[in-house]
Amino acid sequence: MEDLRELQERMRTERPAPWDALPDLALYMDQVVGYMSRQLIGSSEEDKLTSAMVNNYIKDGHLPRAEGKRYSKTHLAYLTQLCALKTVLPVKDAGFLVNYDCETDVQSRYEDFRAVLDTALQDTVDRLPADCTQEELPALALELALRSYADKLACQRLIAMLREREPEDPPKKNKKDKKDKKAG
């Protein structure tokens, strides 16, 4: 099972760049998209970041606005977290988690994210048998999927509990309200 050993090795060693290794120079959108493809393990074509996704994250308040048309370390830190979390959570929940502790600086939150990711990857590597036969793969895949399911259930409940404790946002005005205001 060379593929499984290769995955284990990647999960043991590959990590998003630490804060100090993120580019110091601001990047343009196409550079951001290219950079992000190297930040996470196993990004499939369907999980690849696009410029439209970045624009939507900004519009939805999950990511700070670009500085002109350039993106900083802060943007890369947010995007790394969002791209990892959106593979298992709705984007709305991923953005909520990334933006939850705004009292802590972005660098600290990013490094905390990296530490938790490191532990999660190592835990999964430790669960994977060193020698696995083709016949054992379905049971192993099922076990991992069910662990993911159970973890997702718990995570979604925790997010709901956190949302219940937050002060309510002022109601958003819809397009009809804006038209009525212009007419009046």
96 or 102, higher pLDDT = 96
2 or 177, higher pLDDT = 2
CB 155 within 8 A of CB 89: yes
**pLDDT band at residue 139 under the 50/70/90 scheme:** very high
pLDDT at 173 over 60: no
pLDDT at 175: 44
Report which of 56, 52, 106 is spatially closest to residue 78, judged by C-alpha positions: 106
pLDDT at 62: 95
pLDDT at 176: 44
Tokens 């996704």, located at residue: 53
166 or 49, higher pLDDT = 49
Q: What is the pLDDT of residues 9-35, one digit of tens each?
A: 999 999 999 999 999 999 999 999 999
CB 57 within 8 A of CB 82: yes
pTM, entire model: 0.85
Q: How far is the C-alpha of 16 from the C-alpha of 97, rounded, in Å?
A: 18
